[in-house]
Structure formats: structure tokens, C-alpha cells
Structure 1
């Protein structure tokens, strides 16, 4: 058995520690499943998300591992396709016997996995990026049995952020092109409700199917309405194709873009000179020591700041799951599920990202103490449905680079939700 560099005395100490199962009871390494698109339409954003998930595992292992064992991230590429994601989940659960799954970027990937694999297998999923409210509705009906969590707010936060970005720029009448799946449809509905509550009008909404060589028909239908702006709720590669066709056919360069397009690849594919009027949205992080700790660790590893969708949230999805493993008496799905809220307890001792912060967290858990993991996204707690709240940001492109133009704070977002009626 691997002992992760620990001698017999250290193992004996771990076995005697309160609130922690002994390393002898655990098969090393501790496996953690992950499903992330590395290729396909979401590949350009999926690869950095996967790299960040691996960074979180590195930090956990530098901090001492889980119950004296190193963590191994078993990563599967879903290629952005629900059937591939479903097969990946079955492989992780049935073959690799992982006790938990993290990552899972697309809502269209998460839904069938929760419905057909993880809930029945009693394996918790902690998604970094699936935002559909349908998962909340499933939880409310008891259809997830408490095994679904996410470290990203639902699409309603993003819908409101899109509406703020559009109204701040004085757009009164907009057209929407959106990806034809549950994520795109629910986000479009949320945006429409928010934008109309703020005095705007949605002239028309147009669904597109993924992985097509051209979207000229959808673009021409939307352009015929002569909107003030185009709201583009698209995946990375498809979004670039749609934006290029929109601009080449003479559409307005007033674009409101989803967080899936917040990447240098998208800017390079369109050309920065055509994006001077573009604005986009993403989830934001509160300010504080925990966010600073993650940002510094990320930049030290990759040589650049963590700018892009899913980076902060995937780090938290991996770390909070690992801490729940440590807090659990046994590393099984139900025990992990039952400890995910324990390690973010409001009355716990605050611990932060990075090897030193996680080392402190693991030591406190071994001592049987309560912790409050305050993560890369700031402080968060899972509600009864496994959801979290959070702020949002509006970004622009200046001199070919992504810059944050505005942050909508959590307090402001809560006020907007009440005003809109969410």
C-alpha cells in the first residue's frame, strides 16, 4: 500500500486522530472522478478548467493528502456531448469506483448524469459550471436525493447579469441567439424576464444546434429584426462562428456575450477590432484573503492571472469534496454527501485555498474540529438544494485583452432578484 511518504509512526498517529478514519482503512490513492470537455465546442474553456482541477489536487496532496493518501484525479473528456458524458460517468462509477465526481461543465451533460448515474449509485456530484435551474427543481422534488451540489450560482444570476450589461449600454431592443439545449433555453427565459423587468424588449429568440459549419440562417433571421444589440448565449467554437457570420453580414457590433466566450481564443477568432463594443458576463468572486490566495497560487503555477469561466469554481468543487472526504468516517458517497455542508459550516474556523491553507484545514479535521472552507470564490454555503449564491461581473475587451468593467455585488444581485421577481 502507498503511504504517501508517511512512516509507521505517522500512520499510527493518523489512525488515532479523532474524527478521521485511519489510513489503513483507505485504499491509496484516493480516487476522485472528473468529467470536463477537453475537446469539442467547449474544449477551449474546458482545458484550463481541467488544469485548475489538477492544481487543486496538487494543493491537497502537498497539504498531506486525504486520510494519509494522495488524491488521484481520474479525468474523462465528455467532448461536449451528453452521451459521451454519460458513458464517462458510468465508467468512473462502475469501473473506477470513484466515490465522488467533480467538474462537469455543461448543464446538458450534468442532467443525464444526475438522472441516470450518480443519484442511483449514491455518488455525489459537485459541479463547477452546470447552471441550469432544472437541477434545482429536481432537488426540490427529491429526485437528486441530496447527491447534487454546485459551486456556481444558477443561470438566473447570469440572466440578470446579461440584462444589466444590456441596459447599462442603453440597449432597448435586442435579439437573442442561444444554444438549443436546457441550459440555453432556461438562460434565455431568465434573461428575457430580467431584461423586460428593466424596461427592455426582446424582439426575438433563435435557437441553434451545436457543431454546425454555418449558422447563417439563424443570423439572418435575427438581423432582420434590426436589434440594438445581439445577445449571444453560445458555446465557444459555435459562438465564434456565429459572431463572425453576424459581423461579416453587417450586423451591429453591439454584442452581449456569455461567459463561455470569455477567452482569448474567442477574441483571436473574431478579431479585437470587431469587439470594441462587445460586453460579456461571468460569475465574480467577492474580495478577500481566500480569493487572493487562490489567485496568487494560480498565477505562480501558470504564469498568468485566473481569467476565464470555471477556474475559481472548479477549484472549490475539488477542494470542498476532498475536505468532505477527510471529514467523513468512511470514503463513500453518502458519507461525503453528508459532510459537504459540514466543511463549510458558518461557525467553523476559516481555512483558505493553497497548500498551507489546506494543510491547516486537514489538521483541524483530524483533530475533530469544525472548519469553514472559504474558497477561491469566497465564502459559500450549500442550500438545501445544493446551490450557492454569488456576484457577477461584466467584462469588456480593451486593446485585445479581457478586462473587468463592473462587478455586480451579491447584495446588488439579491436586490435585483427581488425587483425582477425571481
Structure 2
């Protein structure tokens, strides 16, 4: 399903990028990691983002009837690729805002290289590294995903509450991995636990036995992996299973997704814990669930809710700013996202346009959770944990 969805997403985005852009088109750039270590997540994210654009255009368009379009650039979850990709969006395509990047390193590179100098607002649906919040960004970089400073702490608290006091830890050597591992390790030690071994790994290797052996030698029987399932993190998991030295595994959102079990013997992963930002429950989630079902999409896909919310919020901010240029979008974003205001749910574009035109405050309630941007453009949120149980990944609810 993912491969088919990716093909459709890429094909659709390619057509959008190749089609002649009319004078009244308003362009949002998609700085999307459609290749690289999170390519398995990207299809659902791109599809959801384009669904938000479809909802806008089907309800009268933007700024008095203009057409909202997406322009795709592949950042490949890599800062080296993200720089030129963002440059094309900002300086060649002249987008008014950017959805993305997905990986933290890609977001940081795209922001520093082009978006910030070009006065372009970005909203990332998936860049969780603490370093994103530390950018000198002129209030241009936002994200509607829970940062790793929360996910890492909650993961540590969960293991400690379950009686695990010693772990081995490995993380992909980039902003995402080091940030999440750092938050986890600090909280785990502060709570009385011991990190017996803390080993960085690089993606793209065939053999991770040296890293695994170093962790084995520490005596750890619980292995925490903060990496990507279809890159180094997944290879480490496979080789650690073969080694047979670990009785428990834990991973973050980068290890989640359908491929985790589809390419492995589920019995080998029985009891594995995964953490991920919790989607909202209630009217907002239900509204997006209905929209995605009608479009043949899955609302429960990784970062699907965050992706839809990010693009719908950008559209609302452009509408609120009153012009198809880059000025004023940052300030307008908080106006449409943060309380107070009349509540807008996913898909309620016509209602939002009417209220904005009347000068009425609105408050978009996201399917990914309540979106209230703080001073650095972050949102608060909750963390769910999942357990591999009986051959399936089961949502066990919030980490309290």
C-alpha cells in the first residue's frame, strides 16, 4: 500500500510541479523526504498535505478564488539535499510558504539556507529535534509535532515505571537521533536508571555488529534504538535479534510504521515498545478521518494528521494575511491557530473564509491535537506508546 501511495504522491506532485502556474496560483512548497530513510512514511504525509489543498480549492479557493497548488522538492532526509531543494522552492518557484521538512536535519538546512533569508514561513509535521527550536529564525519556523524533549522524557518514564532500570542505547548520528537520545538518557538517569552503553551509529552500513557488540559488552539486555526502521535502526534491530543478547527492544517514531512487522518475524519483536506523538481524539480527528476515508487515505498513518494540519494552517494564515506574498504569514499563523476564536475543524474551509472576511477570530483545532504555537513555534502534546503484541502493533494509549 505504501509503495502504491508513494507512486501516486510522487506522480501527483510531479504533475503539479510540471504544470504551468497561472498568475492567480498561490504556491506552497513541499520540502518532503520522499527518498531516504523515512521514505516509508512520506507517501501518507504528502497525500494528506495535498488533501488539505484539495479541500481548500473545492470550497472556493484562496484569497477570493485563487487556486492553491503544491510544488514538491525532495530533501531526502539529508541536509545536503535539503539545501538545494529549499533554494529551488524559495528562489526559483517563489513559494509563499513551505510545508516541511520532515527530518530535523533537512528542516534546519532548508531554513538556514533559504527559508529564513527569504522570509518564508515553514511548518514541519515531523521534525522533532530540540535543535529546531534553537534556530535564529525570525519567527519563521514552526512545527505541529511534539518535540523530542517531550517524547524522550516520556519514553524514559515509561521504562522506569515498568521496572526497567538499565538500558543500552544507540542513536542515528544526526539532529533527530542525538536530540531524542539525549532527552531520553537525561530523563532515565534522573529517574534512577542507568544507561550502560550509549553508542551513535551511521546510516548506510551493512554491518552493525561492532556497535551491537559494544552494547552487549555493557551487560544491557534492553536495547533502545533511536534511528530509522528502513535504514541503520532497522538493520541494528535485525542484527540484534540475530545476536540473541537482548530481551526487550524500544524504539521511537522513526522505528514505527507498517514495515516494522511486514519484513520481520513478529514473534522476534514480541513486547517491543514504540513511542509516538498522540493524535487528537474527538471532533477534529473524526472530521479528518471522514475526509481521508473519502479520499482513500489512512488517517492513522505516521504523521498524517500533522501533515494535513500543517498545510491547512498555512492556507488559513495566507487567507488571514490577505495577500499571496510572504509578509504577514508568521503573525497570521498564530491568529488562526491559537485561542481565542471560533473553532474550525479540518475541512471547514468555507466556514473559515467567511469568518475571516467578517473579521471574526478563528481557532483551528487540529486532528493532530490542539495547535497552540508558543514563542518558539512549538506545540505541546501527548505521547502514545505502542506494544508489539500477538503479531500486531497495538496502541496502549497515553504515557501518563
Tell me if both proteins adopt one fold, taking TM over 0.5 as the criterion: yes
Residue 50 and residue 325 in structure 1: after superposition, are their counterparts in 2 closer, same or farther (change >3 A)? same
The aligned residue for residue 204 of structure 2 is 211
Which contiguous aligned blocks of 4+ residues in structure 1 show a shift greater than 3 angstroms? none
1:394 paired to 2:388: no
Structure 1 residue corresponding to 2:142, chosen from 149, 172, 184: 149
The aligned residue for residue 241 of structure 1 is 235
The aligned residue for residue 153 of structure 2 is 160
Instruction: Find the aligned partners of 2:229 and 2:300 in 1 and give their Cα distance.
Output: 15
The aligned residue for residue 38 of structure 2 is 42
Q: Any idea what SS the aligned residue of 1:236 has?
A: coil
1:382 paired to 2:373: yes
State the 1:82 CA deviation. 1.2
State the 1:303 CA deviation. 5.5
Structure 1 residue corresponding to 2:293, chosen from 291, 294, 299: 299
On the 8 A contact 2:338/2:373 being kept in 1, the answer is: no
Instruction: Find the aligned partners of 2:43 and 2:245 in 1 and give their Cα distance.
Output: 31
1:96 paired to 2:89: no
On the 8 A contact 2:100/2:107 being kept in 1, the answer is: no
On the 8 A contact 1:166/1:256 being kept in 2, the answer is: no
Instruction: Find the aligned partners of 1:321 and 1:351 in 2 and give their Cα distance.
Output: 14
**Aligned runs of 1:363-374 on 2, under 5 Å?**
363-374=354-365
1:283 paired to 2:274: no
On the 8 A contact 2:34/2:42 being kept in 1, the answer is: yes
Q: Any idea what SS the aligned residue of 1:277 has?
A: coil
1:347 paired to 2:340: yes
Q: Any idea what SS the aligned residue of 2:295 has?
A: helix
State the 1:199 CA deviation. 2.0
The aligned residue for residue 396 of structure 2 is 405
Q: Any idea what SS the aligned residue of 1:102 has?
A: strand
State the 1:182 CA deviation. 1.9
Structure 2: unaligned runs, 5 residues or longer: 1-21
1:129 paired to 2:119: no
State the 1:46 CA deviation. 1.6
Spell out, residue by residue over 1:150-191, the C-alpha distance to the aligned partner (whole angstroms, 9 max, x if none).
111211111012213322332110011100012211211110
Instruction: Find the aligned partners of 1:129 and 1:339 in 2 and give their Cα distance.
Output: 22
Structure 2 residue corresponding to 1:65, chosen from 46, 61, 68: 61
On the 8 A contact 2:59/2:350 being kept in 1, the answer is: yes
Spell out, residue by residue over 1:72-124, the C-alpha distance to the aligned partner (whole angstroms, 9 max, x if none).
11111222221111111000011100011012111111112121211111001
On the 8 A contact 1:285/1:378 being kept in 2, the answer is: yes
Deviates more, 1:93-102 or 1:28-37: 28-37
Spell out, residue by residue over 1:203-227, the C-alpha distance to the aligned partner (whole angstroms, 9 max, x if none).
1111011122222211111122221
**Aligned runs of 1:28-39 on 2, under 5 Å?**
28-39=24-35
Instruction: Find the aligned partners of 2:359 and 2:23 in 1 and give their Cα distance.
Output: 22
Instruction: Find the aligned partners of 2:161 and 2:301 in 1 and give their Cα distance.
Output: 22
Structure 2 residue corresponding to 1:272, chosen from 250, 266, 287: 266
State the 1:65 CA deviation. 1.6
On the 8 A contact 1:233/1:257 being kept in 2, the answer is: yes
On the 8 A contact 2:338/2:371 being kept in 1, the answer is: no
Q: Any idea what SS the aligned residue of 1:333 has?
A: coil
On the 8 A contact 2:102/2:124 being kept in 1, the answer is: yes
TM-score normalised by length of structure 1: 0.86
Q: Any idea what SS the aligned residue of 1:302 has?
A: coil
Q: Any idea what SS the aligned residue of 2:327 has?
A: helix
Q: RMSD in angstroms over aligned alpha carbons?
A: 1.6
The aligned residue for residue 20 of structure 1 is none
**Aligned runs of 1:322-333 on 2, under 5 Å?**
322-333=315-326
1:178 paired to 2:175: no
State the 1:401 CA deviation. 2.5
Structure 2 residue corresponding to 1:77, chosen from 74, 88, 92: 74
Instruction: Find the aligned partners of 2:244 and 2:118 in 1 and give their Cα distance.
Output: 52
State the 1:230 CA deviation. 0.6
Instruction: Find the aligned partners of 1:395 and 1:310 in 2 and give their Cα distance.
Output: 15
Structure 2 residue corresponding to 1:250, chosen from 240, 244, 267: 244
State the 1:301 CA deviation. 2.3
Q: Any idea what SS the aligned residue of 1:342 has?
A: helix
The aligned residue for residue 305 of structure 2 is 312
Q: Any idea what SS the aligned residue of 1:406 has?
A: strand
